[in-house]
């Protein structure tokens, strides 16, 4: 393998890891076992404790999300529309609007924090509404490591960040940095 092949393999491997990171643990296991190792649905169902039909749905959802993660090109949603979605996210979250927020989110939205992963628009909306006190007055739109997002400030310093990935005109992934020391190390530009 020459250097160009090695670089291509590394970039493909990294892209697959990023895409797999958008899946729930059950989706990831079902997807990898079925699509990469050709394990039949009924064999996977035994491993994860579901029916073969439920396993088939998990694999299908995982395929769509992996495909969406690969297609999640920042250029796919215009910068103006990304900003509109962030502003709407801030408005609905500050208002504790559990009904309005899901309209901004992909139905299979993934929120990743240092503490874990939350998936699904309703669960994310519920969590965001419950955390709305963190966004009151100190949250501003920002670029976080080049991604459209939100910076939460305390005493003029970045304390937390939310970085969004957009797919099909909705928020599909939210990466939240809650550790102030780690957030301070990120490249954040206030908008």
Q: For residues 8 and 69, what is the distance between their CA atoms, to the nearest angstrom?
A: 18
Cβ–Cβ under 8 Å, residues 89 and 104: yes
Does 47 lie in the same domain as 102? no
Q: How confident is the model at residue 11 (pLDDT cuts 50, 70, 90)?
A: very low
Q: For residues 148 and 165, what is the distance between their CA atoms, to the nearest angstrom?
A: 8
pLDDT in the model for residue 3: 52
CATH number at residue 105: 3.10.450.50
pLDDT in the model for residue 76: 63
Residues 6+ apart with CB under 8 A from 191: 83, 140, 141, 142, 143
Tally of domains within the chain: 2
Does 109 lie in the same domain as 57? no
Does 183 lie in the same domain as 90? yes
Q: If we measure between CA atoms, which residue out of 62, 52, 57 comes closest to residue 24?
A: 62
Does 118 lie in the same domain as 87? yes
Does 63 lie in the same domain as 84? no
- Find the length of the chain: 191
Does 88 lie in the same domain as 58? no
Does 85 lie in the same domain as 165? yes
Q: How confident is the model at residue 4 (pLDDT cuts 50, 70, 90)?
A: low
Q: For residues 24 and 98, what is the distance between their CA atoms, to the nearest angstrom?
A: 22
Does 107 lie in the same domain as 170? yes
Share of the chain above pLDDT 90, in %: 25
Which structural domain, as residue segments, surrounds residue 151?
A: 77-190
CATH number at residue 40: 1.10.10
Cβ–Cβ under 8 Å, residues 165 and 147: yes
Look-up of token digits 């500050």: 94
Identify the three-state secondary structure at position 109.
strand
Mean pLDDT along residues 78-89: 92
More confident residue, 96 or 76: 96
On average, the pLDDT of the chain sits at 81
């Amino acid at each position: 393998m020459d250097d160009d092949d090695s670089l291509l393999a590394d970039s493909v491997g990294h892209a697959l890891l990023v895409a797999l990171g958008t899946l729930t643990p059950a989706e990831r296991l079902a997807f990898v076992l079925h699509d990469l190792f050709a394990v039949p649905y009924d064999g996977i169902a035994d491993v994860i404790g579901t029916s073969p039909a439920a396993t088939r749905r998990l694999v299908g959802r995982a395929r769509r999300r992996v495909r969406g993660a690969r297609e999640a090109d920042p250029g796919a949603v215009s910068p103006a529309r990304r900003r509109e979605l962030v502003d709407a996210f801030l408005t609905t979250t500050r208002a504790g609007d559990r009904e309005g927020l899901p309209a901004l989110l992909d139905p299979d939205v993934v929120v990743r924090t240092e503490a874990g992963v939350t998936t699904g628009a309703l669960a994310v909306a519920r969590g965001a509404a419950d955390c709305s006190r963190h966004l009151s007055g100190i949250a501003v739109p920002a670029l976080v490591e080049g991604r459209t997002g939100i910076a939460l400030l305390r005493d003029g310093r970045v304390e937390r960040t939310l970085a969004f990935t957009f797919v099909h005109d909705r928020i599909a992934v939210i990466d939240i940095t809650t550790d102030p020391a780690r957030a301070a190390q990120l490249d954040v530009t206030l908008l």
